[in-house]
């Protein structure tokens, strides 16, 4: 379930700062573009950063799984926010594995080990018995989906989102 879930999260929640709303890619996750001025997304990122200690508690929770951090990547021209899974937290430093291939930031690819600058974290998430904890940007993007897209996301992810 963990792998399927992380793939679904990558499909629905890869976020970029380009202008068009959605980029569908064959055999790659769909990118939902969100402008840097989007108030709901900025509030979600702020909340994720303010509650990062809750993520750390989730890392220690033996009943939790699918721990992931969404990280801002930039190459000076483009920005992409992508999920990094298999999170390790050692000596105050996060690291993990990039879950998908980026569209714009070509310096990285799925499967790369990423050392995470905590100042670039834009979201966090984990599951307990299928219930989503964190995932603030997921919730913003899900709220912007059509009813049909939202139903499909809920069915395919199997996540319980309150």
Q: Strand (E) positions, 106-147?
A: 113-116, 121-128, 131-134
State the maximum Cα–Cα separation within the chain, in Å, rounded to a whole number: 44
Count Cα neighbours of 99 within 13 Å in the Cβ-side half-sphere: 27
Per the model's pLDDT, the better-predicted residue between 129 and 24 turns out to be 129
CB 44 within 8 A of CB 72: no
CB 60 within 8 A of CB 101: no
- What tens digit of pLDDT does each residue of 74-124 get? 988 888 999 999 999 999 999 999 988 888 888 999 999 999 999 999 999
The pTM of the full predicted model, rounded to 2 decimals, is 0.82
Whether 155 shows a pLDDT value over 70: the answer reads yes
Beta-carbon count within 10 A of 84 CB: 26
**What rounded mean pLDDT belongs to the chain?**
84
């Amino acid at each position: 379930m963990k792998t399927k879930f992380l793939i679904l999260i990558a499909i629905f929640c890869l976020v970029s700062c380009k202008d068009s709303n959605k980029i569908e890619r064959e055999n790659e996750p769909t990118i939902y573009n969100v402008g840097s001025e989007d108030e709901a997304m900025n509030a979600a990122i702020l909340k994720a950063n303010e509650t990062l200690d809750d993520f750390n508690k989730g890392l220690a929770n033996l009943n939790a799984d699918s721990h992931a951090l969404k990280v801002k990547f930039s190459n000076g021209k483009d920005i992409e926010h992508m999920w990094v899974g298999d999170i390790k937290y050692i000596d105050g430093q996060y690291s993990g594995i990039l879950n998908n291939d980026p569209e714009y930031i070509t310096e990285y690819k799925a499967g790369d080990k990423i050392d995470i600058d905590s100042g670039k974290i834009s979201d966090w998430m984990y599951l307990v018995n299928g219930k989503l904890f964190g995932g603030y940007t997921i919730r913003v993007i899900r709220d912007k989906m059509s009813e049909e897209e939202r139903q499909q996301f809920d069915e395919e992810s199997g996540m319980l989102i309150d």
